[in-house]
C-alpha cells in the first residue's frame, strides 16, 4: 500500500514561511516530499536552506499580503513551476489593546491579512485547482481564538473565528470537487506572535499552568498535523478545525 503521508511530486504554497509556524510547516511538508513555494514579505533564506536540506525544491515569492494587489503576481510566479496542489494560509498578525480602546486601524490591519487576503488568495488558488479535476488541499492556520474569546485581541479573535467559519463554508462548496479545506488551531507556540505574552510573567505562568502537556508548543510540533491535512491520509476529512494545543481545549 502506498504511504498515505507521502507528498512526493506535490507543490505546496505556504504564506508567511520565513519564520515561526510557517517555516516549520514548510520544512515538514518538504520532509514529506513536497516542493515548497514560500510567499511572504521578508527574506526567506533560512527556510530555503532548511527545505533544500530536506531534499525538496524551494521557490520564493516576495509579497506583502496586507492588500489583494499582489495576488495575481503571486499566482503567476507560483504557478510558473507547475500546479499548486497544497495551499497553507499561515500569514497572520495580531494587535493587542483593551476592546474599549481598540482602533479602526488595528481592526482593519488584522482583518485584512488574517481573513480578507486569506479568502481571496484561496479563491485564486482554487480557480487553478478546480478546472483540471485533480483537486487539492487547503489548510488554514486558525487559532484557539477560533473557539474561545481571549482578551485584548478583538480583531484577532474575530478574524480567527471567521476563518473557522470560512473553512467550513469552503469545505461545503468544494468537498465534492476534490478539494479538502481544513484548518489547524495551534495552541500557545513559541514564535514572534506570542512574544508579548511570554514576556509577561503573570500571563506566561497562567498560560503554561493550563497546558496539560506542560510546555509551550515548539513550531516543529505542528508539522505533523500539516502533513496529515496535506496528504492522501486526510482525503475524507473536510471542514475540520484541528487543535494542536498540548491539550488546552481538553482542560
Q: Give least dist CB 88 to ligand NAP, A.
A: 10
- Whole-angstrom CA distances from 168 to 56, 139, 181, 197, 214 are 31, 12, 7, 30, 31
48 is an interface residue for ligand NAP by CB under 6 A? no
* Part of the chain binding ligand NAP (CB under 6 A), chosen from 39-47, 52-60, 198-206, 224-232: 39-47
Output DSSP code: residue 159: H
41 is an interface residue for ligand NAP by CB under 6 A? yes
223 is an interface residue for ligand NAP by CB under 6 A? no
Q: Which of 20, 136, 223, 243 binds ligand NAP (CB under 6 A)?
A: 20
Q: Give least dist CB 188 to ligand NAP, A.
A: 5
141 is an interface residue for ligand NAP by CB under 6 A? yes
Q: Which three cell numbers stand for residue 75?
A: 499566482
Q: Give least dist CB 144 to ligand NAP, A.
A: 6
47 is an interface residue for ligand NAP by CB under 6 A? no
Q: Which of 35, 186, 223, 246 binds ligand NAP (CB under 6 A)?
A: 186
Q: Which of 8, 42, 123, 148 binds ligand NAP (CB under 6 A)?
A: 42
Question: What is the crossing angle of helices 71-79 and 117-129, to 10°?
Answer: 40
Q: How many CB atoms lie within 10 A of CB 2?
A: 7
198 is an interface residue for ligand NAP by CB under 6 A? no
DSSP 179-237: EEEEEEEE-SBSSGGGHHHHHSHHHHHHHHHH-TTSSPBPGGGGHHHHHHHHSGGGTT-
Q: Give least dist CB 155 to ligand NAP, A.
A: 11
Q: Which helix (H) or strand (E) holds 37?
A: strand 35-40
- Whole-angstrom CA distances from 182 to 57, 93, 146, 172 are 25, 20, 13, 11
Question: 15, 121, 156, 223: which is the annotated catalytic residue?
Answer: 156
- Whole-angstrom CA distances from 88 to 85, 109, 138, 230 are 10, 20, 6, 9
User: Is residue 156 annotated as part of the catalytic site, yes or no?
Assistant: yes
Q: Which of 3, 103, 123, 192 binds ligand NAP (CB under 6 A)?
A: 192
Q: Which residues are catalytic?
A: 156
Q: Which residues bind ligand NAP (CB under 6 A)?
A: 16, 18-22, 40-42, 64-66, 90-93, 113, 141, 143, 186, 188-189, 191-194
Amino acid at each position: 500500500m502506498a504511504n498515505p503521508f507521502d507528498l512526493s511530486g506535490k507543490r505546496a504554497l505556504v504564506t508567511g514561511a520565513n519564520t515561526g509556524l510557517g517555516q516549520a510547516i514548510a520544512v515538514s511538508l518538504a520532509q514529506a516530499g513536497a516542493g515548497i513555494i514560500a510567499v511572504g514579505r521578508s527574506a526567506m533564506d533560512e527556510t530555503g536552506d532548511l527545505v533544500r536540506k530536506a531534499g525538496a525544491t524551494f521557490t520564493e515569492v516576495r509579497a506583502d499580503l496586507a492588500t489583494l494587489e499582489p495576488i495575481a503576481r503571486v499566482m503567476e510566479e507560483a504557478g510558473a513551476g507547475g500546479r499548486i496542489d497544497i495551499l497553507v494560509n499561515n500569514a497572520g498578525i495580531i494587535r493587542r489593546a483593551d476592546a474599549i480602546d481598540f482602533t479602526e486601524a488595528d481592526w482593519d490591519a488584522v482583518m485584512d491579512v488574517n481573513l480578507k487576503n486569506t479568502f481571496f488568495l484561496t479563491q485564486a488558488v482554487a480557480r487553478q485547482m478546480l478546472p483540471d479535476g485533480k483537486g487539492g488541499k487547503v489548510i488554514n492556520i486558525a487559532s484557539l481564538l477560533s473557539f474561545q474569546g481571549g482578551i485584548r485581541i478583538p480583531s484577532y479573535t474575530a478574524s480567527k473565528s471567521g476563518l473557522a467559519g470560512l473553512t467550513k463554508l469552503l469545505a461545503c462548496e468544494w468537498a465534492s470537487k476534490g478539494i479538502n479545506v481544513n484548518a489547524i488551531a495551534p495552541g500557545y507556540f513559541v514564535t514572534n506572535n506570542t512574544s508579548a505574552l511570554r514576556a509577561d510573567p503573570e500571563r506566561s505562568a497562567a498560560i503554561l499552568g493550563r497546558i496539560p502537556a506542560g510546555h509551550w508548543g515548539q513550531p516543529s510540533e505542528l508539522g505533523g498535523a500539516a502533513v496529515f491535512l496535506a496528504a492522501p491520509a486526510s482525503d475524507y476529512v473536510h471542514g475540520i478545525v484541528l487543535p494542536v494545543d498540548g491539550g488546552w481545549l481538553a482542560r
